[in-house]
A and B are shown apart, each in its own frame.
Chain A
Amino acid sequence: MSTGEESHHMATAQSGNRKRRVGKASKSKKSKTLPPSSTRFKVTMKNQKLFQKRARDYNSDDDVEEDEEKKQPEVTIREKIFSDANMGPNYDEIEEGDDEEEEEEGSDNDEAVQSGITKFASDGGCNAFKIAFKAIMKKTKEDDILDPILSGRKPLIAKQLAEEEAEFKAKGQARKAKHLVAEKGHVKPGSYLDSHEKILIGVATKGVVKLFNAVNKAQHAQKGLNPSRSKDAKVLKKRRKEAFFSELGKTSKTDTKAQKSSTSNEDDAPGWAPLRDNYMLANPKLKDWDKKLETREGNDFAAMSGDESYED
């Protein structure tokens, strides 16, 4: 049996796997740690692919020694080992690990210590492993949060989780309260126009209307005049005051009307713009084309200096 297995083993793995033979040779001893073989098996890509191919192609029917006890799923298990296990430098260790496990499991069976791969192949080890694995999986399904092994900490961990929950809740509430305080007084208007707003808009509109009317009157009246003529300037100043007050209802309106009518006759200017006296002087933009930037008042003084004294 053992020789058959040995030969089978050699068929599946390369002959360079002497470690296993060492393990198999010393059947009586159960060495937990196998001595690191001097001839380490270097796994290259080529070897890896070869192993995988062999595992895939393995069919128990080909082997005469292994008979009906072998089941098909073993092939897949073996394949899995080859593909899942680290095929790099850790190849040896993992094989050893499997080896150990199998040795542990296999000890129940009173059988010879076998290598990892053959353990899967043999029925006793496979079943025991299956049973143990299933038991663990079942247990872990029940409590998912807590570690099945460290089940003693269960109440402790539960308490910790409850504390954290409470903390988060308190923090959330504190944040909400802070937010409320920050937004205090901030009102989002529901509807755009309610009655109070309408009243306010009415008040504002009245003010604007008054202003525009005053502007209209003032500007209309002084269309013909310009600030650089002294006579006009005097009239302008007087009219400004009166127009202003009249708009506010302080002084009588008759004065302004009289002023307007008297000055309207003076504005009998020629039709063509450049012929008029105030061409290019009335427009504030054009007026200062040759002067540096002084105030309008200054200009006025400069224009009429020497002739008339400026009177208020």
Chain B
Amino acid sequence: MARFKNNKKKGRVIVKPIAKKNQANVDHVTGDKIPKSFVFSRMKLPGSVKQLQMDLRKLMLPYTALNLKEKKRNTLRDFLNVSGPMGVTHFLMLSKTASSLSLRVARTPQGPTLTFKIHQYSLASDIAQSQLRPRCPQDLFQSPPLIVLSGFGSQELHLKLATIMFQNIFPAIDINTVKLSTCQRLVLLNYNKDTKLIDFRHYSIRLQPVGVSRRIRKFVQNHKVPDLRNLQDVSDFVTKAGYGSESEGDEEAATVTLSSDLGRANRGSTKSAVKLQEIGPRMTMQLVKVEEGLCSGGIIFSEYENVDGKKEKEKKKQNEDGEAEEEEDSEDEGEEGSAEEDGEDMDEDFED
């Protein structure tokens, strides 16, 4: 089916009856639909939770509505009606009550809803304040983030559902054609079996050439002319053995060989180290409820289950199995993203 591709190029005027930015609905490489999301809340939020909502919106860029305005009289129905024509696939809803703050992740139009209770959170601005050198390059939010899920396992069904849901929120990447310069952000979800808490972190990826002395690296990166007053010869500058930073030991494990050039400092087929710096919100959450419909329907899993809930759970489990399988089949090349490493409890998300 022929589709008109509209790149989200800044500055280019798109002549259309509705003058708004149009994003590609279908990823031309994989042929999948690009998932888009709305982050909103249906109630008035206190100040810092509003900030958290904004941080989450930035996290979901570029496939989300950054300036979404919600009014008090908007109901979930309204959002559903809008999401259809715009191709929005996921809703992330924040809500705050006196006792708890919760985040609901739901798939439109009738998908399951996961309810997470947020025990603790930190805003992006808090984290930037606690760092010595906060880093935020300009094009950081121009491409969607990668996602790394760890510790979820594949035994429990609700965890599996959570895995699948999170993998589908972000668009898939094709490892054959992806450009490493577009992989700039990373979202980590780490599940802790003992406490049943999920750690949510958001990092920015930076590549640093390895094996180069510190001075030369800084010189190339910062474009600053070095001070050669005390040196007799330029060779002193180049070959002087400076002491390495203490994080060089970690770098050994994090070394990759790039396939292409990435900016001035990292050239293709040389070794570079991957360095992560935290940006964005930090949350500690717990999965408390899984519902079948969009904030409605039967409860598939509930953390605080009662006696009746158990029976329902068993009944719905079969339905949920069917659902999970359906979702899996709909992905091309099979849903292998949740494959496990032997000996390593790590799930990764890259699909063809």
Q: Nearest-CB distance from B208 to chain A (Å)?
A: 12
Q: Kindly provide the distance from the CB of A81 to the nearest chain B CB, expressed in whole angstroms.
A: 60
Given contacts A206-B346, A208-B205, A241-B352, contact A189 B28 (CB under 8 A): no
Stretch at the interface among A28-36, A111-119, A138-146, A179-187: A179-187
- State whether A214 touches B175 (Cβ < 8 A): yes
Closest-by-CB residue of B relative to A179 is B46
Whether B341 contacts A220 by the Cβ 8 Å rule is no
Given the known A-B contacts A183-B46, A208-B146, A293-B2, are A188 and B274 also in contact in the complex, defined by CB atoms under 8 Å?
A: no
Min C-beta distance of B22 to chain A, whole Å: 12
Chain A residues contacting B29 (CB-CB under 8 Å) are 296
Q: A295 at the A/B interface (Cβ < 8 Å)?
A: yes
Q: How many A-B residue pairs have CB under 8 A?
A: 157
Q: Would A203 and B180 count as touching, CB distance under 8 A? A: no
Is the beta-carbon distance between A297 and B258 smaller than 8 angstroms? no
Segment touching A, from B121-129, B298-306, B309-317: B121-129
Q: Pick the contact of A201 from B47, B119, B131, B203 — CB < 8 Å?
A: B203
Contact status A295-B148, CB under 8 Å: no
Q: Which of B174-227 contact A (CB under 8 A)?
A: 175-178, 180, 183, 186, 188, 190, 199, 201, 203, 205
Q: Is B120 an interface residue (CB 8 A)?
A: yes
Interface string of B259-301 (1 = CB under 8 A from A): 1100000000000001010100010000000000000000000
Does A152 touch B at the CB level, under 8 Å?
no
Q: Give the interface segment out of A43-51, A157-165, A190-198.
A: A190-198
- State in angstroms the CA–CA spacing of A159 and B36 once bound together: 63
| B342 in the interface (beta carbon within 8 A) | yes
Contact residues in B for A206 (Cβ distance below 8 Å): 253-254, 346
Give the complex CA separation of A295 and B1 in angstroms. 9
Q: Which residue of B is nearest A201, CB measured?
A: B276
Known contacts A191-B130, A241-B333, A241-B352; A219 and B2 CB within 8 A of each other: no
Mask for B99-137, Cβ within 8 A of A = 1, else 0? 011000000000000000011111100110111100000
User: Contacts A185-B119, A197-B278 hold; do A293 and B205 have CB atoms under 8 A apart?
Assistant: no
A209 within 8 A of B: yes
- What mask results when residues 195 to 218 of chain A are scored 1 for a CB within 8 Å of chain B, else 0? 001001111111111111111101
Residue of A nearest to B202 (CB): A204
Residues of A within 8 A of B141 (CB): none
Report yes or no: B341 in contact with A203, Cβ–Cβ below 8 A: no
B327-347 contacts to A (CB < 8 Å): 333, 336, 339, 341-342, 346
Taking A204-B203, A209-B255 as given, write out 10 further A-B residue pairs in contact, using a Cβ cutoff of 8 Å, ordered by the A residue number: A185-B120, A188-B129, A200-B201, A208-B183, A211-B348, A222-B176, A240-B175, A244-B175, A295-B26, A296-B29
Nearest 10 pairs of A and B residues by beta carbon? A182-B46, A207-B148, A293-B5, A212-B256, A216-B259, A204-B188, A219-B259, A295-B28, A188-B126, A192-B130
